[in-house]
Amino acid sequence: MATVSDVSVLRTADQRDAYLKGLVQTAQAAVPESLALAEVRSRAASFLNEQTFPSIRQEDWRFTDLSAMLAIDFAAAGESSVTEADIAELRLSETAGAQVVVVNGRVSRELSQLNGLPEGAIVGSLGDRPELHSQLADRLAQASGNHEVFTALNTVGFADAVVVWLPRNQVVETPIQIIYVSQAQDNPLFVQPRCLVVAESGSALTLVEDYWGNSTATHFTNAVTELWLDANAQITHSRIEREGAGTFHIGKTVVTQARDSQYIGVAAGFGAKLARHNWEIYQAGEQTTTKIYGLGAISATQHADTHSLVALSHPHGIVEQEHKAIVDGKAHSVFNGRVAVAQKAQLTNARQLNRNLLLSDTARVDTKPQLEIVADNVKCAHGATVSQLQSDEIFYLQSRGISAPQAQRLLIYAFAMEILDKITVETLRSRLADLISQWT
């Protein structure tokens, strides 16, 4: 058990180095032989050798303090005992036959149901697909932005990976759902879910990723999902984070888009004690469309941080981004949204909006929209607002017979639904709508 003085000692630079090394070792010990993947893993390991565990002195972590983790000795997951009854309510009717269940970072063959997929589409554990390993050289851990400590930590030691791979021109109508379940064990757990999605040229899919946990136990999820959209491919993606109240959730979603591809993503976060989502989209061709929508709804002492980057490097790119946060209690929401428009990205049309709703005097929001424009012939707009519920709006509703608490719920619901309405999977959208309507 660490005491207060231990914690302050641990905060020194040396201790941060040591703590990261400990995490690396724990992660490496969890790697199975079937997923040795020596080359990518050793590259990540060398990178990590030069890194330390982040502190708030680094600009990227200025508002998100991870030092509470330093006092926790996380261990790798052992055998789990998640049953159908535990996860039945997470299954969506639309995704029947296209559901991967990942328990504490490992694909569960018993709980996954994959009998509804068309021939040619690959969905499952990467460990079961040795024939793919030769094709991974350009994909796995190859996206820009991999040189980041938590992404590399995942690469060095993920114990299993979900792979979704669509061949050319394959359109999968059934949305594919990945349920990541965190189940508490005796020790604080360190779990590293990994997912690789490859949509080859002209293919299309809808992906739902749902990070879920219902325990209050101390837990660390470090997740990475890489999505590759080849030319003219389309992915519609929902990422839902509903982890348990004792969870540190750090997640990376990195999207690489070839020419004429379209990525539409919704990321909604409700759970965890501390959540950080790094959402990075890299253009790799002309005329790509990127639409990303984020929602965070947090209360009590929760902390939620979204760092997004859309990097445009080719002409005729379209970017639409809206990120919203609802912050109650003493919760703290952070948004850092970079849109980088390089010289070659002429005729870019980009729009970014961040709106924050503060529900208490003790809630806190830090927001930093960043447009970095080098190209000279572009249309870019951005904005950020932080506001409370408007008393005039509440009075208007009251004057129609709606009580003040009901009026507040209605306004919060409306604020959230502008994002949740972008989710195309109906059952998921309505469940999250229910969650929001009962939220306060």
Q: For the CA atoms of the chain, what is the radius of gyration?
A: 21
Output DSSP code: residue 171: B
CA 305 to chain centre: 11
**Tokens at 88, concatenated:** 């039945």
Q: Where do contacts with other proteins occur on this chain (CB under 8 A)?
A: 390-393, 395-404, 406-407, 410-411, 413-415, 417-418
What is the 3-state composition of the chain as percent helix, strand, coil, each rounded to the nearest 5?
25, 40, 35
Look at the block and give the residue holding tokens 């020194």.
12
Q: Beta-carbon neighbour count of residue 171 at 10 Å? A: 13
Helix then strand count (H, E) for the chain reads: 8, 21
Residue 98 burial (C-beta neighbours within 10 Å; 0-12, 13-18, 19+): buried
Closest CA to 39 of 132, 141, 165, 125: 141
Q: Is the dihedral of CA 18, 19, 22, 23 positive or negative?
A: negative
Angle, vertex CA 412, rays to CA 408 and CA 417, nearest 5: 145
Closest CA to 142 of 43, 54, 234, 46: 43
Beta bridge partner(s), residue 367: 335
> What are φ and ψ of residue 327, in 5° steps?
-130, 120
Which H or E run contains 148? none
C-beta of 400: minimal distance to other proteins in Å?
Answer: 4
- Burial 218-238, CB ≥16 within 10 A → b, else e: bbbbbbbbbbbbbbbbbbbbb
Give 169 or 396: the residue with its C-beta nearer to other proteins.
396
C-beta of 351: minimal distance to other proteins in Å?
Answer: 17
